[in-house]
Amino acid sequence: MKTLPSDIERGSMAIIAQELRVRGITLPPENAAVVMRCIHASADFDYAENLRFTPGAVQKAVETLRSGAEIVTDTNMALAGISRPGLKKLGGEAYCFMAESFIAETAKQNGTTRAVAAMDYAAEKHPDAILAVGNAPTALFRIAERIEAGLRPRLVIAAPVGFVNVVEAKERVFETCGKYGVPAVAAMGRKGGSSIAAAICNALIYTATDMLDPKARGWS
């Protein structure tokens, strides 16, 4: 029997929905697509409880994407995982500046990490972008500082993975976003990663393009 890619994704989502019911977890409808895609990307049901959203974050992000918003990530891995066809359909683009030589040079001159230099560059050149962070807590600390100084990104995705300053960075940026009215989605705690940052982006892109079902993406 031939199993098609679209059937695999639909079957996976059905299993996730069933297991959530068994666990007694009911997802808010407006956040369900994001949560389920993170679980789908990781096979980790903790995301049903550790993902936090500022009020209306998903709706605002979808509206932003439909207006052609750009996405800036902190890793090329996250960049590679974002659906380019979906983003193109919305008139948007995605970028990662971490590997640029001028970012490395700026970081060296300023005594910062490349993630900090990349977020500073994004703040200057793409101030209305969605900022998707899946690796560097220093990027989140800088984003929080820039928001306090007046930056208003369209959405902050806070999903670094790790042990050093990861929890603190997520808490800091989520609190700052809430204080200044910046939409945010954060994978609280230690878990996350580039794949989760990309999964959140894709859930939003697929929602904005009515492509949550894989057949709408041209899958057989």
- 71-86 in b/e form (b: 16+ CB < 10 A) is bbbbbebbbebbbeeb
Distance (Å, whole) CA 79 – CA 196: 11
pLDDT by residue, tens only, the chain of 220 residues:
567 778 899 999 999 999 999 999 999 999 999 999 999 999 999 999 999 999 999 999 999 999 999 999 999 999 999 999 999 999 999 999 999 999 999 999 999 999 999 999 999 999 999 999 999 999 999 999 999 999 999 999 999 999 999 999 999 999 999 999 999 999 999 999 999 999 999 999 999 999 999 988 877 6
| Yes or no: domain 49-217 corresponds to CATH 3.40.50.10230 | yes
Kindly name the residue from 40, 114, 154, 170 that is annotated as catalytic.
40
SS3 label, residue 29: coil
Tell which residue, 146, 99, 101, has the closest CA to residue 120. 146
pLDDT at 215: 85
- 176-214 in b/e form (b: 16+ CB < 10 A) is bbeeeebbbbbbbbebbbbbbbbbbbbbbbbbbbebbeb
SS3 label, residue 130: strand
126 belongs to the catalytic site: no
Distance (Å, whole) CA 127 – CA 195: 24
The per-residue DSSP string of 154-191 comes to SEEEE---SSSSHHHHHHHHHHHHHHHT--EEEE-SS-
DSSP H helical ranges for 43-165 = 47-50, 57-66, 76-81, 84-89, 101-110, 114-125, 137-148
So where are the chain's domains?
A: 49-217
Tell which residue, 119, 107, 122, has the closest CA to residue 169. 119
